[in-house]
C-alpha cells in the first residue's frame, strides 16, 4: 500500500484551518455595529414588556439577594433565549445594565437568564417564588414567599432550601 504524504498534509491543513474558524466563530461578540435596522426595529417588542412592573421589581430583588447561576450545563428553569436575541433587545439590555451595573454582553445575558429563571405565583399576600442556583457542584433550590403590599416588599420568607450535590 502506497501512502501519499502530501494528501495527508493537505487534509491536516484543511482540518486545522476549519477548526480555527469554528473556534473563532464561537468567540464572536455582538455589539451595536453588528445590528442592522431591521433588528433594531424588532427591539420595539421588548422582553421587558412581558413582566408587570411589580413582577419585574420582585424578580430583580430576588436576583440581587440570591444571585442564582448555572454551571456545568445545569439548566435554568426559565425559557431559553439566545444571547443574540437578548442583546438585540435594547430596552431590556438598558434595564439590566442600569439595574445591575453590568457592562459585558456575557453579564447582560446571565442577568437576563437569572431574571427569567425565577418562578413567581401571585397570591393574595404577594408572591410565592421558586428559584434554582445551579452554581457548580451543589444545586440549591429556594422556595418561599414575598409579602408585597402597597408597592412595598415587606418581607422575604424562604420556607424551603433543597441542596443537591452533583459530581464535579
For residue 28, pLDDT beyond 50? no
The answer to whether residue 102 scores a pLDDT higher than 50 is: yes
pLDDT tens digit sequence for 103-162: 999 899 999 989 999 999 999 999 999 998 877 778 899 999 999 998 899 999 999 999
Total-model pTM: 0.67
pLDDT score for 37: 44
Band (pLDDT 50/70/90 cuts) for residue 19 is very low
Q: Kindly report, residue by residue over 30-60, the tens digit of the pLDDT.
A: 333 333 444 444 445 788 898 999 999 999 9
Span 61-90, pLDDT tens digits: 999 999 987 665 555 555 556 788 889 999
User: How would you write the chain as a 3-class SS string?
Assistant: CCCCHHHHHHHHHHHHHHHHHHHHHHCCCCCHHHCCHHHHHHCCCCHHHHCCHHHHHHHHHHHHHHCCCECCCCCCCCCCCCHHHHHHCHHHHHHHHHHHCCCCHHHHHHHHHHHHCCEEEEECCEEEEEEEEECCCEEEEEEEEEEEECCEEEEEEEEEEEEEECCC
Q: In this predicted structure, what is the pLDDT of residue 99?
A: 97
Which of residues 10 and 119 earns the better pLDDT score? 119
- First vs last Cα of the chain: how many Å apart? 47
Between 168 and 119, residue with greater pLDDT: 119
pLDDT given for residue 165 in this prediction: 85
- Predicted confidence band of residue 29 (pLDDT cuts 50, 70, 90): very low
Q: Which residues lie across from 152 on neighbouring strands? A: 149
Decide which of 21 and 10 is more confident: 10
Amino acid at each position: 500500500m502506497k501512502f501519499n504524504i502530501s494528501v495527508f498534509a493537505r487534509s491536516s491543513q484543511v482540518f486545522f484551518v476549519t477548526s480555527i474558524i469554528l473556534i473563532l466563530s464561537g468567540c464572536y461578540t455582538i455589539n451595536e455595529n453588528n445590528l442592522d435596522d431591521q433588528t433594531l426595529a424588532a427591539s420595539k417588542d421588548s422582553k421587558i414588556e412581558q413582566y408587570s412592573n411589580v413582577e419585574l421589581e420582585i424578580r430583580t430583588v430576588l436576583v440581587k439577594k440570591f444571585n442564582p447561576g448555572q454551571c456545568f450545563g445545569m439548566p435554568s428553569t426559565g425559557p431559553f433565549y439566545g444571547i443574540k436575541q437578548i442583546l438585540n433587545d435594547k430596552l431590556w439590555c438598558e434595564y439590566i445594565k442600569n439595574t445591575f451595573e453590568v457592562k459585558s454582553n456575557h453579564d447582560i445575558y446571565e442577568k437576563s437568564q437569572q431574571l427569567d429563571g425565577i418562578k413567581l405565583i401571585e397570591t393574595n399576600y404577594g408572591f410565592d417564588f421558586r428559584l434554582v442556583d445551579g452554581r457548580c457542584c451543589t444545586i440549591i433550590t429556594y422556595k418561599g414567599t414575598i409579602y408585597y403590599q402597597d408597592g412595598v416588599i415587606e418581607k422575604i420568607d424562604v420556607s424551603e432550601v433543597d441542596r443537591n450535590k452533583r459530581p464535579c
